[in-house]
Amino acid sequence: MVIVNTLLACFVIQPRIVTENYVLSVLWYSLVLYLFVNTVTNASLVYFTDVSSLRLTDDREWRHQASERKTNCKRCVRPKPARCHHCIICDQCVLRRDHHCFFLCSCIGYHNQKYFVFFTFFMALAGLYAAAFTTYHICSEYGFCLNKMNLDFEDSNLHLVVFLVSVALGSLFGGIAACSFLFWQLKLICRGQTQLEYRRGITSYTKRDKLKHIEDIFGSSWMMFIIVPIYFNNK
């Protein structure tokens, strides 16, 4: 919904405002393209990244927990190391399973959590951007009519205003929801917990430094990854 509203705001509403200034138009469209590409790419990486326990043997997290006791999963009858939980929807064990995202139809775990974080980040930016730009367009184009109450139910402009208001509200609510997911994920990452562990009160993995927890998810070059998104597994 946020992506659709953003596209409407940027490719339908925006040209009516910035087409008179070529430089401004290029800058706006570059920003839109940047937000759109990053949102879609991160969403694709969340969905297509393999999060199953079959990948454990090649990761630092597995080596870090290699000395811990391993058991077999009662559902898939496979080795189940520490912090590995079975998802009944995906029907597989996921290392550091955080939750199952129904919006992206994928489990969020150790291998794709960083992509999910950046997906929510760019979703929040896109939603708030679309809401702000659509609101600006409504105020600049129809503010006088709204103040004078010149719009009636037979006026075609009223239907357009209602549509634009719905786009702005949808983008705003979507952006706020994405922000809440983003801050919640960042809080859990800094604590070294997953959402599942937080609900169960498991705190045995929260004793390390916050930077170590961040590196576990984003890799050693996590600061560069935040500034310029890099789409490869740098763990």
Per annotation, catalytic residue among 84, 87, 93, 101:
101
Establish whether 101 is a catalytic residue: yes
Mean pLDDT for the chain overall: 75
pLDDT at 154 over 60: no
For the chain, where are the E strands, in sequence order?
71-72, 79-80, 84-87, 92-95, 99-101, 106-108
| Distance from C-alpha of 199 to C-alpha of 107, rounded to nearest angstrom | 17
The fraction of the chain above a pLDDT of 90, given in percent, is 9
Place of tokens 């597989």: 92
Model confidence band, residue 180 (pLDDT cutoffs 50, 70, 90): very high
What is the tens place of the pLDDT at every residue in 155-176? 556 777 777 788 888 888 888 9
The residues spanned by each domain of the chain are: 1-51+111-226, 52-94
Residue 66 has pLDDT above 60, yes or no: no
